[in-house]
Amino acid sequence: MTKLPRIVFFEPRIPPNTGNAIRLSAVTGAHLDLIEPLGFDLSEPKLRRAGLDYHDLASMTVHPNFAAFLATVPTARIFAFTTQATTRYTDIAYRPTDVLLFGPEPTGLPADVLAHPRITEEVRIPMLAQRRSLNLTSCASIAIYEAWRQADFAGGA
């Protein structure tokens, strides 16, 4: 199993994105955390289809709220991904104990979460001007693969 930061989706709303994140968790070994409320039922066919047969290979936890999640990672650095940040995701030296926090499409992380004292830093993934954002799981993929690259893809084939 790889030792990578946790991928966290705050109040995800789109089932196929979460299904794809389950698949991402399975192929990288990164733990996936989902913070409720979810915009779907975890048994939804679209979520199951997007995750293919990877559900049993992924490591995932669902938390009732942000506070409950934070209690599980009391000393972790938490990087909040937002289009408004100035620090690039590649400027971070990631640690296995870090948290990569992503907000729901299309709104992103709410202001109260971004202002939470446990947020270590806001980071962004560069893109062309005048674009709203990338797909949620695409962002998580870019970030977790950068963290894994920094670890020389330890445990990867």
Binding site: which residues?
Answer: 103, 125, 133
| Cα-only R_g, the chain | 14
CB neighbours of residue 37 within 10 Å: 11
Q: Can you list the alpha helix ranges (DSSP code H) found in the chain?
A: 15-28, 45-50, 66-72, 111-114, 136-150
CA dist 107 and 53 (Å) reads: 30
2 in Cβ contact with 30 (< 8 Å): yes
Q: CA torsion 106→24→123→66, rounded to 10°?
A: 70
Residues in binding site for S-adenosyl-L-methionine: 103, 125, 133
